Structure 1
Amino acid sequence: MRTPISRLRTIGIYEGISYLLLLGIAMPIKYMAGIPEVVKYTGWAHGVLFVLYMMSVLEVTLTHNWSIKKVAAAVIASLLPFGPFILDKKLLKDEETKKEEPARQVA
């Protein structure tokens, strides 16, 4: 997690997992088994990760001069159950492309 993008990717993965746990496990347990505490704690953890994710999006936006389109994509990704994983794949691809560009110019 040395770069802003790597921090965004890492936090995004954890945020995405917490969202899936909240929707796929905690909510059904709350309504089927009548145990609302599961949602309370899972929701709290997801909320903290969501705030960290948004702060990380802001950091990447300021550091890498992201366009409004990229910021909107990152925000929308956080609202969709599998969105952070899709965004992570795209960010990884972009990182690999940027690492290869200087090597192409030298050769």
Structure 2
Amino acid sequence: MLKLFRAIALIEGVTTIALFCIAMPLKYGAGNPVLVPPVGLTHGLAWVAYVLAMVVCLPGKGFTMWEVARTFIAALFPFGTFLNDGLIRRKQAALALRDAA
């Protein structure tokens, strides 16, 4: 399940980059807002999927309350999901070791 969550987090992060680094500069820098609605919608859906995936994928995986809060907070800041990936990757590796034993 953490593999699925990491994939959703990656998508959320990439859509954030697309919105902030492509769509919004085109809108405000070049006066061409055509990409903001589709990229914004895609990012919004990815964000909702990220939060829902937290609810489904994280329980029972050894996350402390702080780590769950940190994972949610990561979705509120640009590039936060990328910075939080190390935590998720370590939890995924620890679960794999636990399950192999």
Which stretches in structure 2 are left out of the alignment for 5+ residues?
Answer: none
Contact 1:61 1:67 survives alignment (8 Å): no
What residue is the counterpart of 2:14 in the other structure?
Answer: 17
What residue is the counterpart of 1:44 in the other structure?
Answer: 41
**Identical pairs, percent:** 31
Which stretches in structure 1 are left out of the alignment for 5+ residues?
Answer: none
What residue is the counterpart of 1:26 in the other structure?
Answer: 23
Pick closer, same or farther for the CA change 1:71–1:32 going to 2, 3 Å: same
Larger gyration radius, structure 1 or structure 2: 1
Q: Post-superposition, which runs of at least 4 consecutive aligned residues in structure 1 deviate over 2 A?
A: 60-68, 97-103
The one of 82, 91, 94 aligned to 1:94: 91
Number of residue-to-residue matches in the alignment:
101
With 21-30 and 31-40 compared, the bigger mean Cα shift is at: 31-40
Does the residue aligned with 1:56 lie in a helix, a strand or coil?
A: helix
Partner amino acid, structure 2, of 1:97: A
RMSD: 1.9
Contact 2:62 2:91 survives alignment (8 Å): no
Pick closer, same or farther for the CA change 1:51–1:102 going to 2, 3 Å: closer
